[in-house]
Structure 1
Amino acid sequence: MEAIFPPSFFTIMFHLVIHIGEEAILAGPVQGHWMYPVERGMGHFKSYVHNNSAAEGCIAEGCLTEENLTNCSQHFEDANIETRFNRPRRNDDGNEINVSSESTILSNLFPASGKPIGAIKTLSISSMEIIQAHRYVLANCEIVDAFREKFKIEVTRMYRGKRNSSKLVEEYVHKHFHEWFKEYVASQNGVEITSEIELLANGPNNVVRRFKEYNIHGFKFRTMWKEQGLKTQNSGIVMSAVTKRFSSGRGSIEQSSDDMYYGKLVDIIELNYYGKLKIVLFKCLWVDTTLNKGIKIDQFGITSVNFTRLIHTGVKETDEPFILASDARMVYYVDDPIDEDWCCVCHMKPRDIYDMGDVDFVELEEPPMEDIPFCEQHLENIEDLPLVRVDQDEQEQVDSLNDDGDSDGDDDDGDSDGVDDDGGSD
């Protein structure tokens, strides 16, 4: 093309319009098919060269040394030696802050995960924030579901026959369950109440630990206030949750749907249940999930959100601004140049985690070679087996033998020409 079109045609603007768009459609994102990985690999091999007169030999010796070191490093797993096999990930989320619970049940329900980055601050939060955080923990604890259903049955009797009774029951249970749960467990005097239930019923301590950055699931989350003035964005949050909706009228019908909640990270706290259980929670600003109000999807499948339409801001006691840190995934937002106040959502993937998809492995019709049992050879009728090759013509074999004999004779004659009959040499 450079031989046909003038050089001015290959400015970056024309090049982007004509080529880059089509390449992205055919091959996907550019980082999957550009030459930088190959160039980095060649640069790595070039670093082995210390003698320009023997470049190939230096590269071969360097690769051999690297392979030997890699093989030996596999045997250092138990030692405190960092190798490429036990090296921390880019966003290391080792379990370093959550102490293991005394109860195996609670440790399974809320497993320790994640790692804080930076300074840790201890402070007291408001009673409303404690209630909101504790309420969310109880709502996501399986061993409390039986008590919640029992309380829901009692509340249903109170609102029987009223308009929108199902919605009123859910709102009342959400607001007052933690209070009823604490009173009910205390009234049982330990009868058929486990230590885990008592721990959750008593609620957490109002003294929490606050983090500004937190690594989990291969992501580095950062609060909105921490990233002010930075060019990077690590405060975008997305999570999937089941939302209950009720139709209006006396016979209100409950409908559940799996919605995606988009928001921004405001605060990171560690809820402490008096040293026996520690849970990390994210406090977020959530966008309204109503379609075409706080969220919209265009014809190309691009999701956009509007942060001027917020829900669960934490101002009301019934709000739910907190989520478990283990439920959070990262997104980033790009301002829409056409629609003001709208941002396009871009989902993130950790660099060292690969999504293999939901492809089911097809069973092979024939078993692999290593699964086939070894069959011993039986050579009882060995007399019937041909012991001579029959793939070539016998005449060709004879001709080849004659040619070999003639060549040997010629060599003998050539050698005798230089020797006299008397045995002396010329």
Structure 2
Amino acid sequence: MEAIFPPSFFTIMFHLVIHIGEEAIIAGPVQVHWMYPVERGMGHFKSYVHNNSAAEGCIAEGSLTEENLTNCSMYFEDVNIETRFNRPRRNDDDNEINASSESTILSRLFPALGKPIGAIKTLSISSLEIIQAHRYVLTNCEIVDAFREKFRIEVSRMYRGKRNSSKLVEEYVHKHFHEWFKEYVASQNGVEITPEIEVLANGPNNVMRRFKEYNIQGFKFRTIWKEQGLKTQNSGVVMSVVTKRFSNGRESIEQSSDDMYYGKLIDITELNYYGKLKVVLFKCLWVDTTLNKGIKIDQFGITSVNFSRLMHTGAKETDEPFILASDARMVYYVDDPIDEDWCCVCHMKPRDIYDMGNVDFVDLEEPPMEDIPFCEQHLENIEDLPLVRVDRDEQEQGESTNDDGDSGGDDDDRDSVGDDDDGNDYDDGMRD
């Protein structure tokens, strides 16, 4: 590049890119020679200077004061005093309640995660919303799966031999299981009916607590009504769900797929099972997951959604507008300037929380980080690398000078004896 483009083309940024490869070969890993931490530390020390005539004294006094405060702050860990070591995160979601239920089993299935922000309203909701929310809680409860399978076997006998029997059975189970579950538990007095089962079978009351903001999993969620007039967007929700589909035909074949559901948060409610269990749910407007209808993916892998084509709006009893707050992740939507009804999906990462992967899983085949060798540093070849740019004209001129002025003598003889500026011979060695 330097031989093709003129010197004026290479600004400081272009020139920096040229030497990045050579610098990596010479110096090795970037953490060894990165100067940003040093510069940041110097900037921190400069903030202590309030008197330019005594800069060193200000830095020494400020460093000593900070060290003393840091030492004292370590003793305030168990006291309700906020310091730099125990201050809450930006989106604090530490709940003061240790469990969402009096029962250990229910508190494990529905832990008290997240923290409401702002004013809390206690309102009564419609019976339709109660059924939809209660149905979703039963669907995501492991201790109810055995009862659901028993009800599915009974329903299968009703639709035996009919067309699309598998699809009809799933639709019937989804719609009527909560009713059958309540009647079945009330009529049984066996060992399988535990107090936790009775709490779930009786269902919630019609009074809910509603929030406008909620912090969970490092995200701050707001309803679309709360963020009206704001420049920030915190109502985008995404959730990964395993969906069952049935093929058309007399013998319908069940297929499962992992689908991404995108929506906007419209309500945050806390379902209350008469004080025995509390579950926080998000009610959302969900985009139709049909490809090229409510969602599409372009050639660059960018996902776009269309909120003019919705599903599970909550108008029907079989709709599922609610999800558990712990299952929600945040996204934000950017309007497409070409397609007016479409908007691009942008995923987000929570602040102050890092994805460390599955810490319980240890891959024995993968070598630890300490055993992975770094890039070999060729420090012995540093003299051979052209670290200074030489123009072609100067190089050609230097070669022509050497050709004309070469006396043909032996260069080795000049290592010990040479000429000084006055033309006298000097000895390069030590004089006696």
Give the TM-score band, short-chain normalised.
Answer: 0.7 to 0.9
| 1:31, distance to aligned residue in structure 2 (A) | 18
Indicate whether 1:40 and 2:45 are aligned: no
Distance 1:201 1:252 in 2: 32
SS at match of 2:387: coil
Greater mean alpha carbon deviation, residues 13-22 or residues 181-190: 13-22
Superposed, 1:28-107 pairs within 5 Å as 43-96=43-96, 100-107=100-107
Q: Give the deviation of 1:29 after TM superposition.
A: 21
Query: How large is the Cα RMSD of the aligned pairs?
Result: 13.6
Q: 1:361 to 1:414 in 2, by over 3 A?
A: closer
Partner Cα distance (2:179, 2:158) in 1: 17
Post-superposition shift, 1:281? 0.3
**Match of residue 286 from structure 1:** 286
3-state SS of the aligned residue for 1:220? strand
Q: 1:20-69 CA distances to partner (integer Å, 9 max, x unpaired)?
A: 99999999999999999998765543221133223234224423432443
Q: Counterpart of 1:89 in 2: which secondary structure?
A: coil
How many angstroms apart in 2 are the aligned matches of 1:175 and 1:168?
11
Q: Which moved more, 1:97-106 or 1:369-378?
A: 369-378
Residues 381, 265 of structure 1: CA spacing in aligned structure 2 closer, same or farther, 3 A cutoff?
closer
CA displacement at 1:80 relative to structure 2? 1.9
Identify if the C-alpha distance between structure 1 residues 290 and 26 changes in structure 2 by more than 3 Å, giving closer, same or farther: farther
Tell me the CA shift for residue 227 of structure 1: 0.7
How far the C-alpha of 1:114 sits from its partner, in A, is: 0.6
What corresponds to 2:167 in structure 1? Answer: 167
Task: Tell which deviates more after alignment, 186-195 or 220-229.
Answer: 186-195
Tell me which moved more, 82-91 or 171-180.
Answer: 82-91
The separation in 2 between residues aligned to 1:262 and 1:417, in whole angstroms, is 82
- Cα shift readout 1:59-99 (whole Å, capped 9, x = no counterpart): 24423432443344233222222122211110111113676
Q: Tell me whether 328-337 or 360-369 shows the greater mean CA deviation.
A: 360-369
Q: Which runs of 5+ in 2 are unaligned?
A: 423-428
Q: 1:180 to 1:360 in 2, by over 3 A?
A: closer
Range with bigger deviation, 127-136 or 34-43: 34-43
Q: 1:200 to 1:285 in 2, by over 3 A?
A: same
When residues 23 and 163 of structure 1 are mapped into structure 2, their CA distance, relative to the original with a 3 A threshold, is farther
Provide closer, same or farther for how the CA distance between residues 313 and 404 of structure 1 changes in structure 2, counting only shifts above 3 A.
closer
Distance in structure 1 (CA, Å) of the matches to 2:147 and 2:287: 31
Displacement after TM superposition at 1:376 (Å)? 35
Tell me the SS of whatever aligns to 2:119.
coil
Tell me, in whole angstroms, the C-alpha distance in 2 between the residues paired with 1:32 and 1:380. Answer: 18
Q: 1:28 to 1:139 in 2, by over 3 A?
A: farther
Kindly tell me: are residues 51 and 257 of structure 1, through their superposed partners in 2, closer, same or farther at Cα, counting changes over 3 Å?
same
Matched with 2:137 is 137
SS in 2 for 1:407: coil
1:193–1:3: structure 2 CA closer, same or farther, 3 Å change rule? Answer: same
Instruction: After the TM superposition, list the runs of 4 or more consecutive aligned residues in structure 1 that deviate by more than 2 angstroms.
Output: 1-47, 56-76, 96-100, 189-192, 354-426
The answer (yes or no) to whether the contact 2:236–2:263 under 8 Å persists in 1 is: yes
Kindly tell me: are residues 242 and 6 of structure 1, through their superposed partners in 2, closer, same or farther at Cα, counting changes over 3 Å? same
396-405 or 197-206, which moves further after superposition?
Answer: 396-405
Q: How many residues align?
A: 426
**Deviation sequence 1:140-183 (CA, Å, 0-9, x none):** 00000000000001111111111111110100000000000000
The CA distance in 2 between the partners of 1:63 and 1:295, in whole Å, is 56
Matched, 1:425 2:425: no
Of stretches 349-358 and 151-160 in structure 1, the one that deviates more from structure 2 is: 349-358
Indicate the larger mover: 338-347 or 365-374: 365-374
Q: CA offsets, 1:280-320, max 9 Å, x none?
A: 00000000111111111111111110101110000000000
**Do 2:26 and 2:378's aligned partners in 1 also have CA atoms closer than 8 Å?**
no
Between the aligned partners of 2:167 and 2:316, the Cα distance in structure 1 is: 18
Most deviating of 270-279 and 67-76 = 67-76
Partner of 2:378: 378
Give the TM-score normalised by the residue count of structure 2: 0.74
Cα 1:100/1:424, change in 2 over 3 Å: closer
Change (3 A) 1:37 1:371: closer
The question of whether the paired residues in 2 share the 8 Å contact of 1:98 and 1:279 is answered with no
- Cα distance in 2 for residues equivalent to 1:214 and 1:32: 42
Distance in 2 (alpha carbons) for counterparts of 1:383 and 1:23: 13
The alpha-carbon distance between structure 1 residues 67 and 350, as it changes in their structure 2 partners (threshold 3 A), is farther
Deviations 1:215-259 (A, max 9, x none): 111111000011111111110000111100000011110000111
Does 1 or 2 have the higher relative contact order (CA < 8 Å, sep 6+)? 2
Task: State the alpha-carbon separation in 1 of the partners of residues 404 and 13 from structure 2.
Answer: 73
After TM superposition, the structure 1 stretch with the greater mean CA deviation from structure 2, 314-323 or 71-80, is 71-80
- Going from structure 1 to structure 2, the CA distance change for 1:406 and 1:132 (only over 3 Å counts) comes to closer
- CA deviations 1:400-425 (Å, max 9, x no partner) are 99999999999999999999999999
Match of 2:345 in 1: 345
SS of equivalent residue, structure 2 residue 414: helix
Relative to structure 1, the CA distance from residue 365 to residue 338 in structure 2 (aligned partners, 3 Å threshold; closer, same or farther) is closer
Q: Larger deviation: 118-127 or 60-69? A: 60-69
- CA distance in 2: counterparts of 1:13 and 1:402, whole angstroms: 35
| Percent identical | 90
Q: CA deviation at 1:389?
A: 48
- Mean Cα displacement is larger for which, 272-281 or 367-376? 367-376
Using a 3 Å threshold, how does the CA distance of structure 1 residues 420 and 188 change in structure 2: closer, same or farther?
closer
Instruction: Note the C-alpha offset of 1:189.
Output: 3.2
Asked if structure 2 preserves the Cα contact closer than 8 Å seen for 1:97 and 1:115, the reply is no
Task: Indicate if the aligned counterparts of 2:29 and 2:375 stay in contact, CA closer than 8 A.
Answer: no
Distance change in 2, residues 1:3/1:353 (3 Å): farther
Structure 1 residue 209 displacement after superposition: 0.4
Task: Provide the rounded CA distance (Å) in 1 between the counterparts of 2:164 and 2:122.
Answer: 44
